[in-house]
Structure 1
Amino acid sequence: MEDQITLLMVPFPSHGHLNPLLHLSHLMIFSYNIPIHFISTHTHQPKIHIHGYGSISSTNKIHFHDFQLPSLPLLEASTHLRQPIYNLLIKLAKNFRRIIVIHDLIMSNVVQDFKLLSNVETYVFNPISAFTYFLGVWESIPKEMKPFELDLNDVLECSIPSSKGCVTPDVLEFTMNQYKYLGSESGWVYNTSRILEGKYVHLLEMLSSRRLGVKHFAFGPFNPVEFKGQLLLDHSADNSEENRHECLKWLDEQEKDSVIYIAFGSTTSLKNDQIQELANGLERSMEKFLWVMHEVEENSKIKRFHDLEKFEERVKGRGIIVRDWAPQLEILAHSSIGGFISHCGWNSCIESISMGVPIVAWPIQYDQPRNATLICGVLKVGMMVRDWEHHEQLVMSNTIEKVVKMLMKSKEGNEMRQRSAMLGEILRGSIGEGGVSSVEREAFFAHINR
């Protein structure tokens, strides 16, 4: 044991932040059979197994450390993990030659005590796109202190949405506070590929070039990718027929590229009047759809699903609503899916790109508006449902009907689907042997195992 290294994954304790580091855990086990320790909580630990983030064999190789969070708002509650994690690091430090901590950017405060142990080094996991993160960092640097000249218009080739209205003051304050605890990390890890965002990863490398030894590794997508039914990385959930979700069986009966998938993530909810407009737009479009609606916890109360019983009766046979968790990766990989109406959280973006599915971008908050710009303005594998400048306005049913028809039935939509399929194929190839992301993953492992 003394000659080994181990990875300790420290995600922020919410579904969207747990997910990519769980995928990365399975990837590292599958590729290198490296011991993984994973910080989880009483709330999220059961979901890890129920939702099947990876194969049973690789999940059993992950050592989950289940900590109790106090009954406080999640941002504040997460800071209480600092002492339990340090206690865990002390134990691990006695049994391993080196401990590699990969922690979410907004958990920097929680892992700050790693510096007290000589055989621990940390890598910051950036949970958003390199594009969005670079813009935020660049804009935060005063003009007279920018380390090099850069014309953003030349770099981006598209307009940048304002960050106004993206985050609440408390979230912004918490996030900015995390930067106080950076500076001693050995590197950064991104769930992206240089094929997609190489330009922006390189710019981030240039910004940190004065700090010797800090390395940037982009070897995504971390999620398993499926092509013609064959997994390029065999660490997916059990796909046996009896364990398949009912919505997948419904998709089996639909024609290729005939269904539009709608989902807004696990922490985003639409207001009731917007849900009604979306329902009306889908109904009027006459297109087939699969709509996944989550219950979203809001201010310690459960926001219940909107009553759409009459709507479901009218669209019976043409569309279905799933009112719970659904296997998004398998849905996106299904041949009948021809488009994805998404809030453009980065997990959903990278998953959709890797499966070759074009996106109707409907950003709500956080990093989503700029992720949507990357998707639509840079990569050109999506179309906006409306500009971010009008994000406070209700998106009317006629607008939704128009954009759904455009994606699913127009020449422009078909060309976008072809571009998405091509980019997805290239991205999937990047994680195969000799691919860009595979080479970078090998470089990361060689670096931490030096």
Structure 2
Amino acid sequence: MESPKNFCQNIPKNNPNDDDLPPIAVVMVPLPAQSHLNQLLHLSQQITSHGIPVHFASSPSHNTQAKLRLHGWDPQSLKKIHFHDFDLPPLMSPLPSTNHGYSIPFPPHFYPLFKAATHFREPICNLLQKLSTMFKRVVVIHDIIIASVVQDVKNIPNAESYSVIPISAFTLFFDFWETMDQKPFDLNESDIPKCIPSKQGCTTPEIDEYVATQFEFLGLESGRIYNTSRIIEGKYVELMEKLTPKDEIKHFALGPFNPVGLEKIDCKINTKRHPCLKWLDQQENDSVIYISFGSSTSLKDEQIRELAIGLEKSEQKFLWVLRNCDTADVLTQIESKSPQLPEEYEERMKNRGIIVRDWAPQLEILGHPSVGGFMSHCGWNSCIEGISLGVGIVAWPMHSDQPRNAVLITEVLRIGTLIRDWDQRDELVTSCMIEKAVKMLMDTEKGEMMRKRAVELGNDVRRSVDEDGVAYSEMKSFIDHITR
């Protein structure tokens, strides 16, 4: 970690109440990984829509990555955000690997990147120091697991910080709860699912140590921001509030950060649409299952083969995003082996399925009327997008927070089915297991009830962002608070 040096010591004198200064600027500090960049850039769009300037700080390549992969918004809206490019120190990051059994733990090649990102502390401090002389108040919104780089906010009189929780409130609560030797209150039986998966096998020891070090800098923030809605998991946001009383840290459930107005829309007039959307246009409503495992998962060839055969045996239509997980710098061309399908597979499936090997517009896919199901790793971005667009989920957690997110999906919200228990994570997921799970969601009465609940929950979430809805009120409360 960085030395304990305080970078922000010589703050230029200014009067935060100077009437000539604009009232507020927001500084976004994401962890430089796709799922984290994506969440904070979505939130940046939400905040700029209220007329508040946002400064987004990361490395040049990660800022470019975030902008290139953003979807669901008018591209012109990015012009409202000020991007700050801070160079990372040189880092040796290994290629993504699938040579770690079938459990697919957290990809270790991200660890050097996360460590390198802690060197953003000094340029972030310089940026905050500069903005503090230009605005009455500077609000720093940072990923909870890059808290060390904003620690100097405490030395800036007219600045305050808020940490963003990039996982579900459900997962965060049980992560915190199980570490407490003395429980501060009793839980109702209805609060606890039958089985909370072990965290064993979810991350590497290096990542655990990194996260623990970042958590040492928590407590400096004025509040916590959740990419969730009280409509989805209000009970667990309230439990987090009980763990940290409101007079110490305020809690704001501002999600979904992603736009939710894409459901069942007709985008055929957009000539720049991804080709897979044009394929979806030709399919019947609710007939396609979408398969994607996010930006941090690479499957072994043997597992890809089983998945391919399982989809073929299921006799369901599918759209499958088949790609290796991200490298530390996705803009740098690195030679790596492409995922291999069974021989002549795509030819056999040409009338029933489509394979996408590049970055896919997930929001538009999930919002397409032809999509009736989602096979997902249950990263929180994918979960919240699937929920807000009303799509039932086949849950196949791989690592990190995903096993516990999967429990929220399958046992608490009951909008999906689990492809296999986390205890069996070291075993190959066979084609028969895949066939069974896909058919269950897409072609059984039980699956139809799950999908119906997903549609109803998605409708509730979308109504909540309308004026006077729960999410609308929560965002208004946050904007009123930071502009007070």
Does the pair score TM above 0.5?
yes
User: Percent identity at matched positions?
Assistant: 53
Q: Could you tell me whether the CA contact under 8 Å between 2:301 and 2:339 is conserved in 1?
A: yes
1:115-134 alignment, distance < 5 Å: 115-134=154-173
- Which residue in 1 is equivalent to 2:206? 170
Distance 1:111 1:299 in 2: 22
Within the alignment, does 1:306 sit opposite 2:306 as a pair? Answer: no
Find out whether 1:319 has 2:338 as its counterpart.
no
213-222 vs 291-300, greater mean Cα deviation:
291-300
Equivalent in the alignment of 1:90: 129
Instruction: Return 5+ residue gaps in structure 1 as ranges.
Output: 232-237
The residue identity in structure 2 corresponding to 1:218 is A
Distance in 2 between residues matched to 1:221 and 1:45, nearest whole Å: 21
Amino acid at match of 2:391: V
The count of aligned residue pairs is 439
- d(CA) in 2 for partners of 1:216, 1:303: 43
Residue 342 of structure 1: aligned partner = 376
Once structures 1 and 2 are overlaid, which stretch shifts more, 62-71 or 361-370? 62-71
Q: Distance in 2 between matches of 1:189 and 1:117?
A: 21
Q: Which of 5, 15, 22 is the matching residue for 1:3?
A: 22
After superposition, the Cα gap between the structure-2 partners of 1:426 and 1:174, relative to the gap in structure 1 and judged at 3 Å, is same
Question: CA contact under 8 A between 1:295 and 1:324: conserved in structure 2?
Answer: no
Which residue matches 1:235? none
Letter in 1 for 2:337: R
Change (3 A) 1:241 1:297: closer
The structure-2 alpha-carbon separation of the partners of 1:60 and 1:298, relative to structure 1 and needing over 3 Å to count, comes to: closer
1:328-383 per-residue CA deviation (whole Å, 9 max, x = no partner) reads: 00000000001000000000000000000000000000000000000000000010
Report the AA paired with residue 282 of structure 1. Answer: L
The one-letter amino acid paired with 2:384 is I
Dislocated runs of 4+, deviation >6 Å = none
* Equivalent pair of 1:296/1:303 in contact (CA under 8 Å): no
Once the two structures are superposed, the pairs formed by residues 25-424 of structure 1 within 5 Å of their partners are: 25-30=44-49, 32-53=50-71, 54-72=73-91, 73-143=112-182, 146-151=183-188, 153-209=189-245, 212-226=247-261, 241-297=270-326, 303-308=336-341, 310-424=344-458
Deviation at 1:239, TM superposition (A): 8.1
Amino acid at match of 1:247: C
Is residue 99–residue 119 contact of structure 1 (8 Å, CA) maintained in 2?
yes
Is the contact between residue 297 and residue 303 of structure 1 (CA under 8 Å) also seen in structure 2?
no
Q: Distance between the aligned counterparts of 2:263 and 2:186, measured in 1?
A: 45
Distance 1:295 1:272, change over 3 A: same
Amino acid at match of 2:216: K
CA deviations 1:282-328 (Å, max 9, x no partner) are 11111110001233246896543222262111111211111010100
TM-fit CA distance, 1:227: 5.2
For 1:156 and 1:150, how far apart are their aligned partners in 2?
Answer: 8
Question: Which amino acid is 1:374 matched to?
Answer: L
Q: Which amino acid aligns with 2:27?
A: L
Offset at residue 45 of structure 1 (A): 2.3
Distance 1:252 1:431 in 2: 28
The Cα of 1:156 is off from its aligned counterpart by: 2.1
Give the TM-score normalised by structure 1: 0.94
Deviation, structure 1 residue 229: 5.1
Q: Separation in 2 of the partners of 1:4 and 1:356?
A: 38
Structure 2: distance between partners of 1:112 and 1:341: 39
- Structure 1 residues 181 and 149: CA distance shift in structure 2, 3 A: same
**1:432 alignment partner, SS class:** coil
- State whether residues 190 and 220 of structure 1, in contact with CA within 8 Å, keep that contact through their aligned partners in structure 2: yes
Give the TM-score normalised by the residue count of structure 2. 0.88
Say whether the 8 Å CA contact 2:263–2:368 is kept in structure 1: no
**Partner deviation per Cα, 1:167-193 (whole Å, 9 max, x = no partner):** 110000000111211112100000101
Q: Secondary structure of the equivalent of 1:43?
A: helix
**8 Å CA contact retained: 2:322, 2:339:** no
Hey, what's the Cα distance between the residues in 1 that align with 2:395 and 2:151? 37
Task: Give the SS at the match of 1:421.
Answer: helix
Contact 1:261/1:291 (8 A) holds in 2: yes
Q: Distance in 1 between the 2:116 and 2:83 partners? A: 19
Residue pair 1:260, 1:340 contacting (<8 A) in 2 also? yes
More displaced, 122-131 or 217-226?
Answer: 217-226
- Please tell me the residue identity of whatever aligns with 2:48: I
- Structure 2 distance, partners of 1:315, 1:47, is 32
**Could you say which residue in structure 2 is the equivalent of 1:12?**
31
Describe the shift of the 1:252–1:442 C-alpha distance in structure 2 as closer, same or farther (beyond 3 A).
same
Q: State the Cα deviation string for residues 8-64 of structure 1 (Å, max 9, x = none).
A: 11000011100011111111112x111000012222222333334432332001000
Q: For residues 299 and 3 of structure 1, do their structure 2 counterparts lie closer, same or farther at Cα, with a shift above 3 Å needed?
A: closer
Tell me the distance in 2 between the aligned counterparts of 1:362 and 1:121: 39
